[in-house]
């Protein structure tokens, strides 16, 4: 399989899942600032020009973080990265959709891609502020959703690397994490697969998570 990814992005979640599965794959870095995602070779693989893209063994492409995560979980049932029962499954889909669609797509997108939401530079500070408000509210909701349990589904699942990547972005942007998310982020940073992926993507795991509740350190 081939994973088209950008280090430190939402594709990090899929990278972690593949590492957890000990799955062999080829990694291709898509340089977003350079516009690689709009180049004809990549558009032929993913007409949406988004990341990540997973090209499977049969040559078909799968896009969207939640869809790729779900497919990997269901394709490797022995790894037990997906819960049993309709209620648990629905709750996990609910959490993943909220993380990707709202916290990422509405919140962090305004912080990282401000110009896409406001063409007038005079409006950029307001747009970024709204993004931070959306993220902060979202984290409060996820904090209650997670509770004091170890992971989103109780046991570790493919949803946890998805939660991890927005916690990682909070670390990067000094956005406070509430108590239960601090515990989750800290727990994720101890997982060997997460540490390997962070190193491969150019980050030092030991420099992350140096904060207490409500405090987030800058990534070194």
Residue 214 predicted with pLDDT over 70: no
Average pLDDT for 170-195: 95
Average pLDDT for 160-179: 96
Check whether residue 143 and residue 186 sit in a common domain.
yes
Check whether residue 94 and residue 117 sit in a common domain.
yes
Choose the final residue of a domain: 46, 79, 112: 79
Choose the final residue of a domain: 30, 52, 79: 79
CATH number for the domain harbouring residue 136:
1.20.1050.10
**What are residue 148's phi and psi, to 5 degrees?**
-95, 5
Q: Does a structural domain hold residue 120? A: yes
Q: Does a structural domain hold residue 133? A: yes
Q: Does a structural domain hold residue 216? A: no
Check whether residue 103 and residue 181 sit in a common domain.
yes
| Residues 24-39 pLDDT 10s | 999 999 999 999 999 9
Check whether residue 61 and residue 95 sit in a common domain.
no
Check whether residue 74 and residue 90 sit in a common domain.
no
As a whole-number percent, the residues of the chain with pLDDT over 90 amount to: 92
Which string of DSSP letters, residue by residue, matches 74-136?
Answer: HH-GGG--S-SSHHHHHHHHHHHHHIIIIIIIIIIHHHHSGGGT-SSGGGHHHHHHHHHHHHH
Average pLDDT for 43-67: 97
Check whether residue 72 and residue 107 sit in a common domain.
no
Q: Report d(CA 220, CA 30) in Å as an integer.
A: 23
Which structural domain, as residue segments, surrounds residue 29? Answer: 2-79
How many separate domains does the chain show?
2
Q: Which of 56, 64, 53 is nearest to 23 (CA)?
A: 56
| Residues 88-129 pLDDT 10s | 999 999 999 999 999 999 999 999 999 999 999 999 999 999
Which pLDDT belongs to residue 14? 98
pTM of the model: 0.93
Question: Could you tell me the pLDDT band of residue 58, with boundaries at 50, 70 and 90?
Answer: very high
Q: What is the largest CA-CA distance in the chain?
A: 53
Check whether residue 56 and residue 90 sit in a common domain.
no
């Amino acid at each position: 399989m081939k994973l088209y990814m950008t280090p430190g992005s939402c594709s990090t979640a899929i990278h972690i899942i593949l590492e957890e599965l000990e799955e062999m794959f080829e990694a291709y870095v898509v340089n977003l600032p350079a516009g690689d995602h709009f180049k004809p070779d990549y558009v032929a693989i993913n007409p949406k020009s988004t990341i990540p893209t997973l090209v499977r063994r049969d040559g078909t492409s799968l896009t969207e973080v939640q869809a790729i995560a779900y497919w990997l979980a269901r394709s490797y049932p022995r790894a037990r990265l997906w819960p049993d029962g309709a209620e648990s499954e629905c709750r996990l889909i609910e959490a993943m959709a909220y993380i990707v669609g709202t916290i990422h797509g509405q919140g962090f997108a305004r912080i990282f891609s401000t110009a896409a939401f406001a063409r007038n530079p005079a409006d950029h500070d307001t747009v970024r502020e709204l993004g931070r408000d959306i993220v902060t509210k979202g984290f409060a909701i996820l904090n209650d959703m997670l509770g004091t349990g170890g992971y989103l589904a109780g046991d570790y699942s493919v949803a946890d690397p998805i939660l991890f990547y927005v916690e990682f972005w909070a670390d990067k942007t000094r956005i406070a994490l509430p108590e239960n998310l601090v515990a989750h982020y800290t727990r994720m940073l101890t997982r060997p697969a997460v540490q390997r992926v962070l190193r491969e993507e150019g980050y030092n795991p030991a420099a992350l998570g140096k904060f207490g509740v409500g405090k987030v350190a800058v990534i070194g």
